């Protein structure tokens, strides 16, 4: 009886294999390997032929920009210099505030949260006193836009979330006096030159 059951099981297995073979319907042709073909790669069954493939990194091709005049070329060069000058600060702000949000999410104690915000604020101010205060008005304006680009929030919103609305209002008032606007937003369509400079800068490689 046991032998009979085993015999039936074998028939079912063989029949299932035949059904799968009929469903596939195509005999897979594997590529001929040479003596140096020792690297395993992915493959795709294309109408019965196994085609090996290797994923490649994205290749970005940039067109050569033609300027209408030497003045336009000089203006673009100044813009590129200013963007390259302030971009590291925008990336630092992004990294620091993302870390702050992670730290705040790990604690529900108001005292500890205030301590984390104060520490982050101190680090930003230290960097400001050390480097950012030397920026020109134009560079500061670009920086506020790039912060919005990187964090998806304006500098004003960040100050308001971490320090409160009144402090944000004071910061904005002082910024407006020296030609800045903490509410500046970034639009890649309107800032096509800046966007092009950032993409081709190598900051994201």
Ranges of each domain in the chain: 70-199
**Can you give the pTM of this predicted structure?**
0.62
Tokens 């999410």 belong to residue: 105
Question: What was the pLDDT predicted at 188?
Answer: 86
From first to last of its 205 residues, the chain has per-residue pLDDT tens of: 544 455 444 444 544 444 444 444 556 667 677 777 777 777 777 777 777 777 888 777 767 788 899 999 999 999 999 999 989 888 888 888 888 888 888 888 888 888 888 888 778 777 766 766 678 888 888 888 888 888 887 878 877 777 778 777 776 776 677 677 778 888 888 888 898 888 887 776 5
Residue 115's φ and ψ, nearest 5 degrees, are -65, -40
């Amino acid at each position: 009886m046991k032998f009979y059951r085993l015999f039936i099981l074998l028939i079912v297995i063989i029949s299932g294999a035949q059904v799968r073979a009929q469903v596939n319907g195509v005999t897979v042709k594997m590529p001929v390997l040479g003596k140096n073909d020792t690297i395993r790669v992915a493959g795709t069954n294309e109408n019965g032929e196994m085609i090996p493939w290797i994923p490649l990194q994205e290749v970005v091709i940039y067109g050569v920009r033609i300027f209408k005049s030497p003045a336009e070329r000089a203006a673009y060069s100044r813009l590129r210099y200013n963007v390259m000058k302030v971009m590291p600060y925008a990336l630092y702000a992004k990294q620091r505030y993302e870390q702050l949000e992670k730290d705040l999410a790990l604690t529900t104690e108001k005292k500890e949260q205030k301590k984390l915000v104060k520490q982050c604020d101190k680090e930003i101010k230290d960097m400001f006193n050390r480097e950012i205060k030397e920026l020109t008005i134009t560079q500061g304006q670009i920086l506020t836009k790039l912060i919005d680009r990187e964090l998806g929030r304006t500098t004003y919103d960040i100050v308001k979330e971490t320090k409160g609305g009144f402090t944000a209002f004071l910061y904005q008032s002082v910024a407006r006096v020296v030609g800045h606007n903490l509410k500046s937003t970034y639009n890649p369509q309107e800032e096509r030159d800046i966007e092009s400079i950032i993409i081709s800068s190598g900051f994201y490689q």
